[in-house]
């Protein structure tokens, strides 16, 4: 009986581990395929978001069902005691905190709804400005997270050539894949 109990516990643990990792294996190829399928929408979203960015700050936006996370930071995400970043997490559209963020960014509720729809069309999770590029977070799996890094000005041929040798995947003169892996 004791041995049977241990086997049942082991099988239960294996089942939980296996089912908790379903659909978590996202690859660079998945990221490339999504870009090829949605490149027009991805570039339109990047251009739209760039227009929304305040000149003096960086912005992060992530919808999650009917709640939203928005962060505002100094250029290049410089966070210091003199200039702390301002973050609102899991805000409801009708909250006072959300109204404050919208006012700070000179956005409307329609801006937020439009961003959410555009992200959904591109299969992306969030979008942010970071210095001279836009980062669209595509997906995160068990090991790696992938994003699209999009610039207003095209990457130079020498940058593409040198970075490609280092394993960077360029999708166009304006877009490349960004990744963070826990290996």
Residues paired with 173 in a beta bridge: none
Q: Residue 122 contacts by C-beta under 8 Å, 6 or more apart in sequence?
A: 34, 38, 41, 42, 45, 136
Chain segment 9-52, per-residue pLDDT in tens = 433 443 333 433 344 588 889 999 999 999 999 999 999 999 99
* SS3 category, 93: coil
The position carrying tokens 């109204």 is 99
Q: How far apart are CA 167 and CA 181, in angstroms?
A: 13
Is residue 42 within 8 Å of residue 122, measured between CB atoms? yes
Sign of CA dihedral 171, 148, 140, 48: negative
Residue 102, pLDDT > 50, answer yes
Q: Give which of 180, 60, 154 is closest to 170, Cα–Cα.
A: 154
| Confidence grade of residue 80 (pLDDT, cut at 50, 70, 90) | low
Q: How far apart are CA 34 and CA 19, in angstroms?
A: 24
Chain segment 128-158, per-residue pLDDT in tens = 998 888 999 998 777 788 999 999 999 999 9
Q: How far apart are CA 116 and CA 110, in angstroms?
A: 10
Whole-prediction pTM: 0.80
């Amino acid at each position: 009986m004791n041995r049977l109990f241990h086997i049942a516990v082991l099988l239960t643990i294996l089942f939980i581990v296996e089912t908790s990792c379903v659909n978590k294996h996202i690859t660079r190829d998945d990221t490339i395929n999504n870009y090829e399928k949605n490149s027009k929408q991805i570039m339109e979203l990047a251009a739209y978001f760039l227009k929304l960015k305040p000149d003096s700050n960086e912005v992060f936006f992530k919808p999650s069902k009917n709640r939203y996370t928005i962060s505002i930071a100094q250029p290049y995400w410089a966070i210091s005691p003199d200039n702390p970043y301002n973050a609102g997490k899991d805000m409801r559209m009708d909250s006072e905190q959300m109204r404050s963020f919208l006012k700070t960014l000179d956005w409307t509720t329609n801006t937020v709804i439009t961003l959410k729809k555009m992200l959904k069309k591109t299969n992306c999770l969030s979008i942010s400005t970071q210095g001279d590029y836009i980062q669209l977070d595509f997906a995160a799996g068990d090991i790696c997270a992938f994003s699209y890094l999009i610039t207003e000005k095209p990457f130079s041929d020498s940058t593409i050539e040198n970075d490609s040798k280092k394993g960077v995947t360029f999708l166009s003169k304006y877009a490349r894949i960004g990744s963070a892996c826990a290996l």
